[in-house]
Structure 1
Amino acid sequence: MHYLKNALPRVLLASIFMLLSLAAAAAENAVSPIQPVDAPAVDAAPVIVNGEPLFRVRGVTAYPASQRSAVISKRIEDLARDKTFDPASLAATDKGDFTMIMAGEKLVVAIYEEDARLESISRQVLVNVYLEKIRRVIQDYRNDRKPDVILKAALYAIAATLALLAVVYGLIVLFRRINGLLEMRFRKRIEEFEIKSLRLVQAHQIWAGAVAIVKVIRALLLLSLLYIYLELVLGLFPWTRWLARELLDYVADPLLVMGRAFVAYLPKLFFLIVLVLVVRFVLKLIHVFFDAIAEGRVHFANFEQEWAWPTYRIVRFVFLAFMLVIAYPYIPGSDSDAFKGVSLFLGVLFSLGSSSVLSNVIAGYSMTYRRAFKVGDRVRIDNTFGDVVEMSVLVTHILTPKNERVVIPNSKILNNEVINYSAMARDKGLILHTTVGIGYETSWRQVEAMLLMAAERTSGLRPNSKAFVLQKSLGDFAVNYELNVYSDDPRSMNRQYTELHRNILDVFNEYGVQIMTPAYEGDTPEPKVVPKDQWYAAPAQAPSAK
């Protein structure tokens, strides 16, 4: 069987070509760095019979090469199917400007000077070559379709399938052992190297890269086996032999193109690798520097510790943007019109859709450097009151006393007033104040003394800070007094207000003074106070009873 005799050399040739395609591309680039001027393309097409290309023929405008080759292929196949035809009876007839190969009275192919010029040989030599090839392919066409040959090809295909399954199973077992060996010996060394490099080298990244390389090698081996299997099995049968012939071109052409492109790109790739290593090292140094500032090991005048990480993010962004500008010309395809068009399109999308995002980012950094508040502060932003639990470049999270988590965009915070109770408490103390209205018949001195007594009874206030009373206004029926006390715990504002109000009520009840706010209708026969013996009326319990 003709194809089986040449199957193994062809498979080996295909395998070697796949493995050495990159080297061939490199050699080609090295030998001919100057690209020659392209020659005019010649309209030529191969004559394919029994899945094998015999020779090429040239075409003209009125009679294209593809049409001419198809007609010649059909003539030869018709002769091969005609078992009464003897290939030895093929003869050449010279007609002066061209030569005809005849099968009796039937024309097989006409050979012109242009066909000989295409092969760079004389027309007579080309005629002899065509005669030999046509006779051989007719004989092969008939032999390959004999029942015993087809049966033998089927047995070869079954054997090749079993061999493929066995080799694939062996590869799977082999790579499992390789993975186990790497896990036992290689991973521990990587972790030790990470410790020795002071964490500049990340062990998990190196390990992930090693595993990926093993997977890629395994995939390439499996694909190569599958390719060799298909090349062999498809070539065993005459009906699929054409596909086996073209399979090499399907695989080799993309590999050759990629190989040439890769070899041409190697200098730029090396530059990018060095640039990435330098960028990673510099970013690591920058991170260590700002980490020292954040932890207080490095100090600068007028530079707060909480500015360390926001400033680090700004410096990192500017540095990466600068490095991207340097790396841009070395990115594959960066000089192509398609790449430029996509870049422009993405830039337009970013500019249209990121206006609110950018405003929030700018507002977030503006608040950081203005020191409006920090995480843990109790603030009031517009109508939201609570503790700052999280700050990001886009939004700020506030936890209210009612355990509600409110997310506020930074741009909104920048456009509204912010009251920072914690900042006031850290400085001179937060002033809590409340107002009561007392009738004109009660001495203001007594009222102020009672209010100060209520302040003294309130726990948790700022020590060494004296409370004071202001007379806010002289109303129609009462004098409005404002009690002011100092607190250094803004988180306890609600509790302190509650306790302060309770103490005010108790003191005024003790001294029989009626509180006339919030409204006054008229004097009652008895002052509207709670007698002391009624302070703990049911269901309330006195402190001694608890």
Structure 2
Amino acid sequence: MKKKTLFLALLTGLPGSASAAWTLPAGAASLAAAIAMAALVTALFVYLLKLLSRLHVYAELRLSAWAASAVKGVKLQQVQLLTAERITEWLIFLLNALRVLLTLVLIYFYLPILFSFFPWTRGLAGELFGYVLRPLKELTLSFLGYIPDMIFVAVTVVCVHYFLRFLYTITREVARGRVVFKGFYPDWAVPTFQIARFIIWAFTLVIIFPYLPGSDSPAFKGVSVFLGVLFSLGSSSAIANAVAGIIITYMRPFKRGDRVKIVDTVGNVMEKTLLVTRVKTVKNEHVTIPNALVLGSHIVNYTAQAEGESLILHTSVTIGYDVPWRKVHELLVASARAAEGVSAEPAPFVYQTALNDFHVSYELNAYAEKADGMAAVYSSLHQNIQDKFAEAGVEILSPAYSALRGGRGPVLPPKPA
């Protein structure tokens, strides 16, 4: 009897307990039952931990065996993104993470159940369960309250998606020339659709924004303002190029494949995007020109001229005053007719552009068949001019030079027959 009283006194004097407040509700029998239940739950907890460990080892062995034969690497064309070994390591990592998670769940449920057996720790059990149950309850209620807004957002996005698919079908037919609108060119179809798609999605975002979760929170508003300021400060040049690209699209100064001259760059247009225009020169150099620079400079489209009234290529030569101008005209026209890529009709023609101090400047003009071969046509023209004038014994005074006349009479061309 004395030992029993001492045991009860020790229990009521545990650290953190007030001896006057804590009493055994049903005596030693209740305490013994609580200890027995605690031992049983602890034994079950240890058994579950050992079972979880064995299942983990078994699952890891089976996973390794399956991965060795079934898992393949991930490749993007010729680039190896993920090897089979790395994928296997990730799967094993996920398996280990699952084991840790299940262990924490067991510990979380074990401790409140253990504490609930004793009156002085029974309040901790409800508190520990509340740490998880309260957030789950709030998340569940928030999700249920968001369902109507989520339905509105989903219906809006689906309607916009299928409306854009309908517009794309019309755009494709307009681009192919099957659907024709007066004053609307086929090459406008795709850019117009892209602009319309951007505007439609922007308005859609404005409509569904109030229905997004957390849109009313100060943090969400602060992030939106920060991103807006960052976009405004860092994209001024990009916006200028984009606006210029839209204007160029509807101006139609050139199209893909045209031979053009933009500032000092001469070549074929390879690509025309919203921000830049890419040109391939005759030297196979790929030049990227911002659309703002394209819009602010003069553009020469040789292809459009060749397809319309024919493109005129011109080159200049200087000949002395002693050579009759009619003969020079004849030699220059013959040189143009013999050049490859020069049209027979309209016929080449010559202008006398200047009467200089020591020679006369002649300009040969010839119509080119295609704009793509301008460099070759110019080379052929110059070769033929050299050959024709050499055969006729006429000296080309380019560059000019000075010579002493030695007191001779005036140098005049012979009188025309």
The TM-score bracket by the shorter chain reads: 0.7 to 0.9
Tell me the SS of whatever aligns to 2:201: helix
Tell me the SS of whatever aligns to 1:491: coil
Tell me the SS of whatever aligns to 1:379: strand
**Kindly tell me: are residues 170 and 319 of structure 1, through their superposed partners in 2, closer, same or farther at Cα, counting changes over 3 Å?**
farther
Q: Does 1:161 align with 2:49?
A: yes
Distance of 2:233 and 2:350 partners within structure 1: 57
Q: Which runs of 4+ in 1 moved over 4 A?
A: 87-90, 133-145, 152-155, 165-175, 218-228, 232-238, 241-247
Q: Does 1:475 align with 2:335?
A: no
Q: Does 1:86 align with 2:8?
A: yes
Q: 1:265 aligns with which of 126, 143, 146?
A: 146
1:157, 1:236 within 8 Å by CA — same for their partners in 2? no
Distance of 1:109 and 1:332 partners within structure 2: 52
Structure 1 residue 491 displacement after superposition:
1.9
Structure 1 residue 299 displacement after superposition:
0.8
**Kindly tell me: are residues 339 and 137 of structure 1, through their superposed partners in 2, closer, same or farther at Cα, counting changes over 3 Å?**
farther
Structure 1 residue 289 displacement after superposition:
1.0
**Kindly tell me: are residues 462 and 137 of structure 1, through their superposed partners in 2, closer, same or farther at Cα, counting changes over 3 Å?**
farther
Distance of 1:303 and 1:134 partners within structure 2: 96
Which residue matches 1:369?
A: 250
Q: 2:107 aligns with which of 203, 207, 230?
A: 230
Which residue matches 1:453?
A: 334
**Kindly tell me: are residues 164 and 248 of structure 1, through their superposed partners in 2, closer, same or farther at Cα, counting changes over 3 Å?**
farther
Tell me the SS of whatever aligns to 2:323: coil
Structure 1: 5+ residue stretches without partners: 1-81, 91-101, 111-126, 176-217, 526-546
Q: 2:207 aligns with which of 326, 330, 340?
A: 326
Q: 1:351 aligns with which of 232, 248, 251?
A: 232
Distance of 1:304 and 1:377 partners within structure 2: 17
Q: 1:517 aligns with which of 393, 398, 413?
A: 398
Structure 1 residue 434 displacement after superposition:
0.7
How many residues of Structure 1 are paired with residues of Structure 2 in the alignment?
Answer: 365
Structure 1 residue 144 displacement after superposition:
8.0
Q: Write the deviation string for residues 396-431 of structure 1: whole angstroms up to 9, x where unpaired.
A: 112222222221111111111111212211211211
Structure 1 residue 327 displacement after superposition:
0.8
2:172, 2:189 within 8 Å by CA — same for their partners in 1? yes
Which residue matches 1:404?
A: 285
Q: Does 1:132 align with 2:17?
A: no
Distance of 2:156 and 2:31 partners within structure 1: 62
**Kindly tell me: are residues 439 and 369 of structure 1, through their superposed partners in 2, closer, same or farther at Cα, counting changes over 3 Å?**
same
TM value normalised by structure 1 = 0.59
Distance of 1:274 and 1:323 partners within structure 2: 11
Which residue matches 1:485?
A: 366
Distance of 2:323 and 2:222 partners within structure 1: 84
Distance of 1:443 and 1:359 partners within structure 2: 57
Structure 1 residue 253 displacement after superposition:
2.3
Distance of 1:317 and 1:134 partners within structure 2: 77
Structure 1 residue 386 displacement after superposition:
1.7
Structure 1 residue 335 displacement after superposition:
2.0
Distance of 1:369 and 1:161 partners within structure 2: 71
Q: Write the deviation string for residues 306-330 of structure 1: whole angstroms up to 9, x where unpaired.
A: 1111100111111111211211111
2:267, 2:281 within 8 Å by CA — same for their partners in 1? yes
Tell me the SS of whatever aligns to 2:19: strand
Tell me the SS of whatever aligns to 1:490: coil
2:24, 2:31 within 8 Å by CA — same for their partners in 1? no
The one-letter amino acid paired with 2:180 is H
Tell me the SS of whatever aligns to 1:461: coil
Which residue matches 1:423?
A: 304
Structure 1 residue 247 displacement after superposition:
5.1
Which residue matches 2:91?
A: none
Q: 2:387 aligns with which of 506, 510, 517?
A: 506
Q: Write the deviation string for residues 247-274 of structure 1: whole angstroms up to 9, x where unpaired.
A: 5333322211111110010100111111
Residues 38-57 of structure 1 aligned to structure 2 (within 5 Å): none
1:168, 1:222 within 8 Å by CA — same for their partners in 2? yes
CA radius of gyration, larger in: 1
Tell me the SS of whatever aligns to 1:428: coil
The one-letter amino acid paired with 2:25 is E
Q: 2:19 aligns with which of 91, 108, 118?
A: 108
Deviates more, 1:408-417 or 1:495-504: 408-417
Distance of 2:380 and 2:273 partners within structure 1: 36
Distance of 2:132 and 2:389 partners within structure 1: 98
Residues 287-306 of structure 1 aligned to structure 2 (within 5 Å): 287-306=168-187
Q: Write the deviation string for residues 120-168 of structure 1: whole angstroms up to 9, x where unpaired.
A: xxxxxxx9xx7517978855686689xxx5xx77754442124335666
Percentage identity across aligned positions? 39
Deviates more, 1:380-389 or 1:270-279: 380-389
Distance of 1:137 and 1:441 partners within structure 2: 136
**Kindly tell me: are residues 88 and 363 of structure 1, through their superposed partners in 2, closer, same or farther at Cα, counting changes over 3 Å?**
closer
**Kindly tell me: are residues 161 and 219 of structure 1, through their superposed partners in 2, closer, same or farther at Cα, counting changes over 3 Å?**
closer
Q: Does 1:338 align with 2:219?
A: yes
**Kindly tell me: are residues 134 and 481 of structure 1, through their superposed partners in 2, closer, same or farther at Cα, counting changes over 3 Å?**
farther
Distance of 1:377 and 1:272 partners within structure 2: 46
Distance of 1:390 and 1:260 partners within structure 2: 53
**Kindly tell me: are residues 344 and 511 of structure 1, through their superposed partners in 2, closer, same or farther at Cα, counting changes over 3 Å?**
same
Structure 1 residue 277 displacement after superposition:
1.0
Q: 1:316 aligns with which of 192, 197, 200?
A: 197
Deviates more, 1:221-230 or 1:266-275: 221-230
Distance of 2:134 and 2:344 partners within structure 1: 86
Structure 1 residue 363 displacement after superposition:
0.3
**Kindly tell me: are residues 396 and 524 of structure 1, through their superposed partners in 2, closer, same or farther at Cα, counting changes over 3 Å?**
farther
User: What RMSD, in angstroms, separates the aligned Cα atoms of the two structures?
Assistant: 3.8
**Kindly tell me: are residues 165 and 384 of structure 1, through their superposed partners in 2, closer, same or farther at Cα, counting changes over 3 Å?**
same
Distance of 1:134 and 1:272 partners within structure 2: 62
**Kindly tell me: are residues 89 and 476 of structure 1, through their superposed partners in 2, closer, same or farther at Cα, counting changes over 3 Å?**
closer
